Structures are given as C-alpha cells and as structure tokens.
Amino acid sequence: MSKRKAVIVGVADAPLKDGMIPGGASPLAVQARCAKDALAEAGLTLKDVDGLLVAGMWGNPGPGMLPTVTLSEYLGIRPRFSDGTNIGGSAFELHVGHAALAIEQGLCDVALITYGSTQKSEKSRNLAGRPAVLTMQYETPWGMPTPVGGYALAARRHMHEYGTTPEQLASVAVATRKWAQLNPAATMRAPLTVEDVLKSTAIADPLHLLDCCLVTDGGGAIVMTNEERARDLKAKPVHILGFGEGQTHWTIAAMPDLARLTAAEEAGKRAFAMAGVKHKDIDVAEFYDSFTITALLTLEALGFCERGEGGAFFASGRTAPGGDFPLNTNGGGLSCLHPGMYGIFLLIEAVRQLRGECGDRQVKDAKIALCHGTGGTLSSGATCILAKD
C-alpha cells in the first residue's frame, strides 16, 4: 500500500468586525467563502475537493444534523470521503488527524475542513443549560451555568489541590491579551491587568467574566493534500508530524479527576509518540482557552510542566510575548475570537506561524507547533503537532 504523507496547503478565516461577520451571512455562506479562500491560497478550487470534514453547532435540529451532507450540497461537491465527527471545539484537530489517515490511504486527495458560526450576530448563545434529556436530566435541573460552570468546578478543585490562585488564573488572560495587542485581527486589544480580571463579576465563582472566552462569530477552513500533489501547488506545505485524540466524559460529574485534564494527557501522549519529537522541540503552542483554567490544565496535561505548577508558569509571564513559551499567539479564544467551537483557529494560527506570516506577533524561527483542542466540558481533547517545510 502506498503511504502518501498528508500536508496542509491552505488556511483561511473569516474577517470580523467587532466580533461579527460584516454585513451578516449564514453559517453556510461563511464556510463557503472560507473554503474558497483556503483553496485559492493552495492554488486549488472546489472542483479538486474529494474529502469533506465538518463540525459545527449550526442548523440543529435541522440540516446541521447531517453537516457534511448539507455542506456538500451547498458547495456543489460530491466528496468520496467525509467525516462529521463532533467532539466539541476540539473536533478540528481530530479532523486533521482523520483527514491525514484518509489521504495516506488514498481515500481522498484533497480534504477540506470547514467551520462557521454566526452566534453573536444571531444572539443565539444561551446559558440556560442543555435540554434535560438522557444524561442531562442529572445536570440541567440544578441550574449549572453552561459551559462555564463545569470549568469553574475544575478551577475550584485545582485551587484546592494545588493552591492555584485567582491571580494566577487571571495571568492567563493577561498574557493572552498581550498577544492580541500584536494582532490587528483580534477582537479585544485594550490593555488588561490581573486586577481587571479579578474585579469583573465572578459569574461562576471562582471564575470571573474575564476568565471566559469571547462570544463572537467566526469561520475557518483548512485544505490538506498529499506531499506529492503539494509539490505542484503554490503554497508552502505544513507537515503533520503527529496527532492524537481522547475523550473521557460529557456530564461533568463523570470527569475522572476535576483537577486533571485526562483527555489532553491521553491525546498529547499519542501525538508526541507519533511525531517522535520532545517537548523542548515545540517552538510555538496553541491551546484551546475557552476559559483561563482550560489553558492551565492543558499545559499541565500535555507535560510542559508538572501538575500543580501551571499557575506559577503563567504568572511568570513565560507564555506572553517575549517569554520562552509563546502560547496562543493570535490572542486566543480569550481575546481574538470564540465562535462557539474554536479549535480550527488554533490550527490556522499555527500554520501561519510556521509559514512566517504573523507580522508583529511572529515567533522567531518557528519550526514546530503544537495545537491542542478541548471540547465539551473538558470532555475531549485532540492534539496536532505540525512542522514547517
């Protein structure tokens, strides 16, 4: 069997103004435009696409229940490989892994991964909890604010076990804002201090409003093909060294350990083993930061520091611009954008860093990047380790 290595040859994201798609658009239109842009970057068109991977929250109940089928129809394509796996915001790191497998096996030659959301424009974000059916009948009746409540439970437990402080958690948001200030496309760019975070409402104590990600629209697309085909394309390929996925629970009471992100531990180990690289080889990291605690738990779970040391790591400023561990260089979900499922933007930023396109926020000599997505309520994780050509 011929082993053809998969590479990323195009990325695109939807420009936002004040966190919204200017002029408005449906989530399908957002994805179509991003797909066209990402393909154009590679020197390809929709006619070349024979693999489609989609995850989103749009059109449910309705056409979003069969997202790859709906999007194929909308785009006028007939993929021979598709994957609509939804494990939450981490789905896109999983999609890169699954697309790589399909490309290596020759199940498709050009894979398109898309995401679109217009939640801010539609004002459709709702914290009223999930319908109390099946497993949710044991959660929703107690008024748990979702999704922040589950993350706040984890933050409280981490504070209890390791002495992590609200100030240390706030320092995650502060470091991330400093990156956003270097990114003209970021939604929130005003200066932010630890005091600002602690003064904001403790909406789900111990987490404050400014410990939470933004609520924005957003769209993105990623195009992958095999190395051989990439040679004839205009874009510089980004290589996929390794990937891994894991999942542990959906109801937060079933999380194996609230102070430990087991899904990330498992996904990360698998990705590092496949990539054959070490932690010190990672030049730039992009972690899902739905909340400050998410990034902290991910740092520990992936093994960049010991468990319990994440708070001090962030408070030292190592993740901020100029630090030795550049993290969330676009400004993250906390300050750049967060349309509900953020994982595709981790990959887009990593690819741009590896191609050296990031202007003021460019990490010097970035050769290897790690992206880790977290989905659900600390439920699932997927890791991709990428390398420049």
Partner 1 sequence: MYEKPLPIIDPDSAPYWSATQQHKLVIPRCLDCGKHHFYPRALCPHCHSDKLEWTEISGRGTVYSYIVANRPAGPAFKADIPYVVAVIDLAEGPRMMSNIVIDDPSKVKIGDAVQVCFEDVTPEITLPKFKLV
- 143 lines the binding site for partner 1 (CB under 8 A): yes
Three-class SS state of 296? helix
User: Phi/psi class of residue 39: alpha, beta or left (left: φ > 0; alpha: ψ in -120 to 50)?
Assistant: alpha
Whole-number Å distance between alpha carbons of 20 and 15? 8
Which of these ranges, 33-41, 79-87, 113-121, 125-133, lies near partner 1 under the rule CB under 8 A?
A: 125-133
Least distance in Å: CB of 291 to partner 1?
A: 12
| Single-letter code of the amino acid located at 100 | A
Of 153 and 354, CB closest to partner 1:
153
Identify the burial level of 81 via C-beta atoms within 10 angstroms of its C-beta, where 0-12 means exposed, 13-18 middle and 19 or more buried.
buried
Identify the burial level of 297 via C-beta atoms within 10 angstroms of its C-beta, where 0-12 means exposed, 13-18 middle and 19 or more buried.
buried
Rounded to 5 degrees, φ, ψ at 250 are -120, -50
Mention every residue, 6+ apart, whose C-beta is less than 8 A from residue 133.
none
Among 2, 128, 232, 280, binds partner 1 (CB under 8 A): 128
Which positions from 188 through 247 interact with partner 1, judged by CB under 8 A?
A: 201-207
- 2 lines the binding site for partner 1 (CB under 8 A): no
Of 151 and 272, CB closest to partner 1:
151
Least distance in Å: CB of 205 to partner 1?
A: 4
- 187 lines the binding site for partner 1 (CB under 8 A): no
Helix (H) / strand (E) containing 91 = helix 91-104
- 308 lines the binding site for partner 1 (CB under 8 A): no
- 254 lines the binding site for partner 1 (CB under 8 A): yes
Q: How many CA atoms lie within 13 A of 42 on its CB side?
A: 32
- 65 lines the binding site for partner 1 (CB under 8 A): no
Least distance in Å: CB of 133 to partner 1?
A: 5
Among 141, 163, 276, 359, binds partner 1 (CB under 8 A): 141
- 30 lines the binding site for partner 1 (CB under 8 A): no
- 154 lines the binding site for partner 1 (CB under 8 A): yes
Look up residue 387 and give its two tokens: 């390398």
Rg (CA), the chain: 19
Least distance in Å: CB of 140 to partner 1?
A: 5
- 260 lines the binding site for partner 1 (CB under 8 A): no
Whole-number Å distance between alpha carbons of 335 and 192? 10
Give me the count of residues in the chain. Answer: 389
Of 145 and 356, CB closest to partner 1:
145
Look up residue 130 and give its two tokens: 């999930």
Residues forming beta bridges with residue 368, ordered by sequence position: 387
- 152 lines the binding site for partner 1 (CB under 8 A): yes
Identify the burial level of 276 via C-beta atoms within 10 angstroms of its C-beta, where 0-12 means exposed, 13-18 middle and 19 or more buried.
exposed
Contact 24, 39 (CB under 8 A): no
- 156 lines the binding site for partner 1 (CB under 8 A): yes
Of 132 and 273, CB closest to partner 1:
132
Residue with tokens 């966190």: 19
Of 85 and 200, CB closest to partner 1:
200
Among 140, 165, 193, 316, binds partner 1 (CB under 8 A): 140
Which of these ranges, 44-52, 219-227, 252-260, 343-351, lies near partner 1 under the rule CB under 8 A?
A: 252-260
Among 24, 45, 78, 132, binds partner 1 (CB under 8 A): 132
Q: How many CA atoms lie within 13 A of 367 on its CB side?
A: 4
- 258 lines the binding site for partner 1 (CB under 8 A): yes
Residues forming beta bridges with residue 223, ordered by sequence position: 10, 112
Of 116 and 376, CB closest to partner 1:
376
Among 113, 153, 180, 233, binds partner 1 (CB under 8 A): 153
Of 85 and 140, CB closest to partner 1:
140
Contact 369, 286 (CB under 8 A): yes
Size of the site for partner 1 (CB under 8 A): 38
Q: Which residues bind partner 1 (CB under 8 A)?
A: 126-129, 131-135, 137-146, 149, 152-154, 156-157, 160, 201-207, 251-254, 258
